[in-house]
Amino acid sequence: MITHPNVALLTRYAGGDPGLDEATVWSVEVHLEACPDCRARLAGSTPDDTRALLDRVAVEMDRSIATGPAPVPVRRFGAAVHRRWFIRALLPWLTMTVAVLGCAFLLEGLWPGLPSLVLLLAPVAPLPGVAVAWSRRVDPAWELIAGTPAAGLTMLLRRTAAVLAVVIPVLAVGSAGTQLSVALLLLPCLACTAATIALGGRLGVRRAAAGVAVVWAAAVVLPSMVTAQLSAVLRPDSVPVWALATAVLVAFTATRNGDYRRLSSLS
Ligand SMILES: [Zn+2]
């Protein structure tokens, strides 16, 4: 059975009575949203001074709108593309990534005998960008965007694509003057990125990126540096394994949409 608020209560509500507690105000508002009869009664019980105030506000607003400056047209397309594919906070991270890869290529040319720094760094190169692409700490519009239907895995994949669109050409162009295998540069890079996104839905993207980077450093970079020999996982005969791993991880990542609806992915 629906209980309608009585006239006395509606009158106090309409007059903004400070004696009404929040729970009562809230229940009246919820009821008014669904009950046209009480909305009509509320209109009837509004005190004269409140009506006069509302009229003054309406007249004043009409006047301000009529005499104010014309609204600035919103560049909807540009703004949407910018937010969906890229955030400005990515720029310093991408600059840093390109600079680090540039240094690695330079060292590669200067000391060709050492284990290839480019091969060792390429797999984790996109990870700082991916971590920043889905981080509430660096995106001021985070709350707004996270609440939209387009947020979640789709948006992270778009922004990851923007990161890869910078990292992959750098790797491809940089490797042109070297003996490095393009497949060994790109496949581990894609595999680690996919692993980060797949884990990110459960752990948070930042934590997942850090985890993948630490595992890569401990399992591949460190042994290569200590022994002065490139790890077996980065030798040319491991390309088919990387191709398979990349395909599996990318396919698995595509199924992780549900994870990105959880709060744990939002850190
Ligand atoms: Zn009612």
> What is the residue extent of each domain of the chain?
7-64, 79-266
Q: Of 14, 31, 35, whose CA–CA distance to 23 is shortest?
A: 31
pLDDT of residue 80: 57
More confident call, 221 vs 147 = 221
Average pLDDT score, the chain: 84
Residue range 58-67: average pLDDT?
92
**33 C-alpha to center of ligand 1: Å?**
9
Residue range 141-168: average pLDDT?
80
**36 C-alpha to center of ligand 1: Å?**
7
Q: Is the separation of the CB atoms in 216 and 223 below 8 Å?
A: no
**44 C-alpha to center of ligand 1: Å?**
14
pTM of the model as a whole: 0.66
How far apart (Å, rounded) are the C-alpha atoms in residues 176 and 81?
Answer: 32
pLDDT of residue 81: 59
Find the range with the poorest average confidence among 17-21, 111-115, 131-135, 230-234. Answer: 111-115
Q: Is the separation of the CB atoms in 101 and 167 below 8 Å?
A: yes
pLDDT of residue 214: 95
**37 C-alpha to center of ligand 1: Å?**
6
More confident call, 251 vs 182 = 251
Find the range with the poorest average confidence among 81-95, 104-118, 178-192. Answer: 81-95
Of 56-65, 101-110, 193-202, 230-239, which one has max mean pLDDT?
56-65
pLDDT of residue 155: 81
With bands split at pLDDT 50, 70 and 90, how would you rate the model's confidence at 262? low
How far apart (Å, rounded) are the C-alpha atoms in residues 203 and 262?
Answer: 10
pLDDT in tens, 237-261: 889 999 999 999 999 988 888 777 7
**39 C-alpha to center of ligand 1: Å?**
7
**46 C-alpha to center of ligand 1: Å?**
16
**57 C-alpha to center of ligand 1: Å?**
27
Q: Of 251, 267, 262, 142, whose CA–CA distance to 208 is shortest?
A: 267
**35 C-alpha to center of ligand 1: Å?**
5
Measure Cα distances from 82 to 77, 162, 194 in Å: 8, 11, 23
195, pLDDT greater than 90: yes
How far apart (Å, rounded) are the C-alpha atoms in residues 58 and 56?
Answer: 5
DSSP state of 234: G
**54 C-alpha to center of ligand 1: Å?**
23
Ordered alpha helix ranges (H), the chain:
7-14, 22-34, 36-45, 48-67, 76-85, 90-110, 117-121, 127-133, 142-146, 153-175, 182-203, 205-216, 222-227, 239-254
CA dihedral 175, 125, 254, 232 (to 10 degrees): 70
